């Protein structure tokens, strides 16, 4: 019941203030339509001022019952209050007639009474959690991104999915050059005004044999279908995985068109195929490219993705890439070039709770998508896993196997086949349950965080015959957990290639995301798994990347002439740094230096913060950059002329010096490196006004320990459209002694009554 209540409130919240203003109108409407005969009751929502509760009522619920009894005295054997609300609003839902609702609306302490209506739940949860609503805000302002085209470089697409329906969409724009290509298992007629392009590239993969046939864009893996529907899936009622997250699914930009360029399969992606796919996408005329892929960090001139994405940027295409899943270790972030948007993964306010009760009575809270409800299984022996190759009936029959390095649903299938009774996977990278990934186990199983896993380890070490019991509610719980938190698996900075450039840029929903799935792929992705599903729940920065692509499409719809750098700036400078509890976003990574479980997500972990589409549509000011700026940046890295020609074929020589070196790029963040030779670093940035009215901004500096920050000037006055103003920042090192392993963090923000343009700052001391 709690999850239903919070879901209803999430969708009702945008309307509560409006209804408070129109309460008298509502009451008048109820009165003027008073029935001439007995009215059947309907569900009404009563918004109450909890501070007005008379003192003789012990609880709010007692008060609510008295209100109902006074104004709706019909006898009943059960309470007619359906839900009571005490978190995001105060009040209750109840069955009333129209006359009863009219009378109740005048009760002291009752703010408003209104008849309920159906609100469709967003089962990916992420559109709603980042603030998107069908009735107002970014979706309404941009017509859901209608007409913008995102190209996905991925494993292909399952065109039959309802997420790719073109109901309500007009024809694709006349300038579009893409198409869908027939293959043995893919008919181009499956494409429509939603799926406007589908091509495949496989020649670069080792051992590939085309054998005269056309490579197929059909998705055999599920990944490409998932990410494309995450970004731009159509509205689909009653979507979900089993009973989990059931409701209406949306992409971040539901009317955006999709073009799939298959360059990957279950074994990975060839750099040659990626470049070919990006090349085709740019020629076809996509507005945005989303690539949830990457390899080891390497110099940009030897990175196929960096080279291909630079070419896309030169042609005005915004490129979004996943930041990698190698966290929580430092310097693990990938796809770190400044001309791409690099995305880390964070949570939404949703959990799939399940518990493991130990023989000593301790209850360990985890997550699971196991589809059999149980209040408590029988106590069974607990054993550590060993190697899956050692799972035989002699070793695991009737036992719960504990995997301290994590366990997926594919592991569970292997264990079930060997006679195991249950499985527990401990995720050593996630400090708390909030960031753990839930799996659709086929036998009783759940995932625990590092902290819960350590309690389990201690119990098993202290008890000669440890036992445990599972509890599965098979429920989806919303708004009860602190969110967002940055997932422990999300790769972190500092940037290995260019320490003077902060990466990732932003974080977005990437934990347990529901989206469309391939009919040729199993739920677990393992070939031994015979289960099939239309929608699946998976995690990774692969899932975070298309969230940003979808939001970028909304911005592109509103500002079609903006450069990719302007789009990225709008996303970064408006990002959230505060969670749903009003506190700074946490880092959920479990690392050796984390003792108390409370650590703020620094810019090395969260970049500029958690994306916020409504704010990104009105950033006020943006940091712009283009080909010339990026060439200067590469020159500051001392790239040779030959290396630079990989990015700009007609390049001759470096002709300008970038003041401040690579850190001097006009980027929406700052990374400053101090060494023993330089105590002062001065960087310059240029802001361009994109708001309609003249505005004055004042600077706010969140100071860094051991660094004096001086911004000149402290006020920027913008009068003309698209006017640009520059400012300089002096960073003075006031630290003493050797601080080579330390980082310090702050921010620089230009603010007025309408806008806040925030840039994260990181400073590093090294020899």
Distance CA 355, CA 345 (A): 25
A 10 A CB-CB count for 292 gives: 29
184 is catalytic: no
Active site residue 223: yes
pLDDT of residue 767: 65
The full DSSP string for 325-349 is: S-TTSTT------TTSEEEEEE--S
What pLDDT, on a 0 to 100 scale, did the predictor assign at position 319? 97
| Residue 561 is a catalytic residue | no
Q: CATH fold of 130-205+213-349+485-587, please?
A: Rossmann fold (3.40.50)
In CATH terms, the fold of domain 355-462 is: Glucose Oxidase; domain 1 (3.50.30)
Question: What pLDDT, on a 0 to 100 scale, did the predictor assign at position 670?
Answer: 97
CATH number of 669-766: 2.60.40.2310
The two domains 130-205+213-349+485-587 and 355-462 share their CATH topology (first three levels equal) = no
Kindly tell me the number of DSSP H helices and DSSP E strands found in the chain.
18, 37
pLDDT recorded at residue 416: 94
Q: Which of 245, 471, 491, 542 is catalytic?
A: 542
Among candidates 247, 246, 295, which has minimal Cα distance to 269? 295
- Predicted local distance difference test score (pLDDT) of residue 66: 87
The fold for domain 42-115 equals Alpha-Beta Plaits (3.30.70)
d(CA 355, CA 353): 7
The domain ranges of the chain are 42-115, 130-205+213-349+485-587, 355-462, 629-658, 669-766
Profile the chain (767 residues) by mean pLDDT over runs of 10 residues.
Answer: 31 26 27 42 71 86 86 64 52 79 84 50 40 72 88 96 95 96 94 96 62 79 95 90 81 96 86 86 96 90 88 94 93 96 94 95 95 87 88 93 92 93 95 92 96 96 96 86 92 95 97 94 88 94 95 96 98 94 92 66 96 95 96 95 86 88 97 86 97 95 89 96 96 73 89 96 85
Distance CA 140, CA 244 (A): 28
* Annotated active-site residue in 11, 47, 154, 219: 154
Pick the catalytic residue: 71, 223, 226, 411?
A: 223
Cis, bond preceding 494 (omega within 30 deg of 0): yes
């Amino acid at each position: 019941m709690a999850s239903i209540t919070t879901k209803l409130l999430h969708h009702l919240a945008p309307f509560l203030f409006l209804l408070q203003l129109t309460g008298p109108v509502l009451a008048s409407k109820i009165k003027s339509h008073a029935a001439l005969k007995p009215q059947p009751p309907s569900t009404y929502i009563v918004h109450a001022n909890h501070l007005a509760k008379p003192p003789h009522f012990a609880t709010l619920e007692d008060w609510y019952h008295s209100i109902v009894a006074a104004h709706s005295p019909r006898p009943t054997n059960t309470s007619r209050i359906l839900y009571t609300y005490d978190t995001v609003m105060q009040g209750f839902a109840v069955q009333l007639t129209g006359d009863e609702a009219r009378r109740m609306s005048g009760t002291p302490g009752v703010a408003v009474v209104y008849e309920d209506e159906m609100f469709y739940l967003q089962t990916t949860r992420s559109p709603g959690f980042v603030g998107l609503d069908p009735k107002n805000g970014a979706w309404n302002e941009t017509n859901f991104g209608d007409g913008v085209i995102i190209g996905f470089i991925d494993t292909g697409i399952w065109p039959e999915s309802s997420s790719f329906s073109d109901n309500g969409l007009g024809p694709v724009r006349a300038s579009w050059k893409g198409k869908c290509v027939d293959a043995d298992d893919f008919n181009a007629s499956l494409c429509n005004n939603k799926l406007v392009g589908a091509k495949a590239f496989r020649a670069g993969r080792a051992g590939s044999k085309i054998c005269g046939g056309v490579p197929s864009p059909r998705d055999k893996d599920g990944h490409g279908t998932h990410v494309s529907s995450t970004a731009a899936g159509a509205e689909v009622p009653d979507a979900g995985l089993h009973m989990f997250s059931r409701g209406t699914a949306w992409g971040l930009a539901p009317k955006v068109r999709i073009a799939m360029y298959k360059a990957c399969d279950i074994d990975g992606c060839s750099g040659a195929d990626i470049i070919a796919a990006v090349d085709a996408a740019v020629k076809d005329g996509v507005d945005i490219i989303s690539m949830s892929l990457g390899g080891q960090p390497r110099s940009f001139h030897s990175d196929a993705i960096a080279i291909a994405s630079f070419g896309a940027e030169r042609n005005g295409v915004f490129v979004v890439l996943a930041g990698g899943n190698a966290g929580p270790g430092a310097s693990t972030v990938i796809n770190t070039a400044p001309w791409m948007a690099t995305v880390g993964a964070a949570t939404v306010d949703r959990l799939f709770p399940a518990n493991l009760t130990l023989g000593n009575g301790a209850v360990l809270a985890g997550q699971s998508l196991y589809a059999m409800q149980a209040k408590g299984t029988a106590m069974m022996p607990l054993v550590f896993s060993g190697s899956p190759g050692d799972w035989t009936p002699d070793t695991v029959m009737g036992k719960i196997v504990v995997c301290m390095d994590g366990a997926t649903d594919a592991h569970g299938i292997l264990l079930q086949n060997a006679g195991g009774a249950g499985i527990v996977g401990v995720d050593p990278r996630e400090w708390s349950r909030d960031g753990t990934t839930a799996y659709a186990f086929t036998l009783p199983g759940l995932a625990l965080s590092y902290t819960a896993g350590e309690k389990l380890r201690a119990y098993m070490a202290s008890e000669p015959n440890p036992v445990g019991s599972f509890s599965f509610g098979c429920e989806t719980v919303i708004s009860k957990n602190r969110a967002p938190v940055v997932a422990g698996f999300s790769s972190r900075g500092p940037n290995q290639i260019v320490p003077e450039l902060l990466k990732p840029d932003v974080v977005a929903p990437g934990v347990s995301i529901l989206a469309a799935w391939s009919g040729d792929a199993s739920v677990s992705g393992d070939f031994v798994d015979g289960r099939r599903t239309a929608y699946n729940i998976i995690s990774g920065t692969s899932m975070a990347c298309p969230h940003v692509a979808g939001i970028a499409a909304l911005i592109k719809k509103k500002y079609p002439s903006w450069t990719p750098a302007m789009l990225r700036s709008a996303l970064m400078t408006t990002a959230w740094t505060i969670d749903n509890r009003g506190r700074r976003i946490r880092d959920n990574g479990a690392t050796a230096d984390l003792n108390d479980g409370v650590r703020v997500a620094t810019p090395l972990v969260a970049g500029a913060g958690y994306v916020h589409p409504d704010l990104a549509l009105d950033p006020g000011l943006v940091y712009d950059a283009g080909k010339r700026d990026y060439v200067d940046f590469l020159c500051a890295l001392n790239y040779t002329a030959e290396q630079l020609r990989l990015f700009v074929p007609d390049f001759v020589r470096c002709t300008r010096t970038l003041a401040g070196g690579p850190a001097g790029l006009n980027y929406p963040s700052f990374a400053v490196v101090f060494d023993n030779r330089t105590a002062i670093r001065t960087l310059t940035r240029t802001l361009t006004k994109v708001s309609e009215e003249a505005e004055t901004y004042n600077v706010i500096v969140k100071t860094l320990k051991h660094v004096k920050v001086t911004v000149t000037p402290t006020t920027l006055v913008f009068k003309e459209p698209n006017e640009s103003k520059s400012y300089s920042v002096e960073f003075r090192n006031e630290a003493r002694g050797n601080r080579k392993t330390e980082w310090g963090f702050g921010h620089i923000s230009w603010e007025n009554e309408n806008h806040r343009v925030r840039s994260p700052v990181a400073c590093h001391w090294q020899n």
